[in-house]
A and B are shown apart, each in its own frame.
Chain A
Amino acid sequence: EVQLVESGGGLVQPGGSLRLSCTASGFSFSTTWMHWVRQVPGKGLVWVSRIRNDGSNAIYADSVKGRFTISRDNAKNTLYLQMNSLRAEDTAVYYCTRDNYYSPDYWGQGTLVTVSS
């Protein structure tokens, strides 16, 4: 069974940093591209970042470029999102998703990030 479990969310002050993790199981993580997608509670889905299976070619939404870094450790079956210089508008639930045919087929339960003083 495919499982994606996010962790690392919480309350952080504006300008602060946070690292999200996503632990994957039930599939071949090292051969799969992965994404981060976020959602302000009650609002729509917004794509954040994608990374290829070998850790190359990371791409980002303009809104987070230069502040967020996606990475992965295939030996640990874990995806990361390092978030720096956080802003109030980064407040959202962050989902880790698996890519299949350029499409997110499995989603984690999400982790809430709140940026507030």
Chain B
Amino acid sequence: DARVTQTPRHKVTEMGQEVTMRCQPILGHNTVFWYRQTMMQGLELLAYFRNRAPLDDSGMPKDRFSAEMPDATLATLKIQPSEPRDSAVYFCASGLGTSGTARDEQFFGPGTRLTVL
């Protein structure tokens, strides 16, 4: 069955290193979202794309985070340089609905657990 896939599932890195997380949305979905889950903040929206175009990245620290969709089958979230406070679970989600917006049901991937030492 169709699922959102994310790689890697776990990543441990040292402060200052570059981290790249990848997401393969469900084929045919036109919206892709990146979320971060922490104990303190819960689930926060970092960025979202519709038809590969970035629509909202206001939740993302611009100086170190970047999100792209090189093609319809791949979304990437990059952190450079990484810091200990970036430690969290990062979820990718995709959606396809009549409105093509964040209102539509979102299908989440299993997440990437990032630990920055």
Q: Is the pairing of A and B real?
A: no
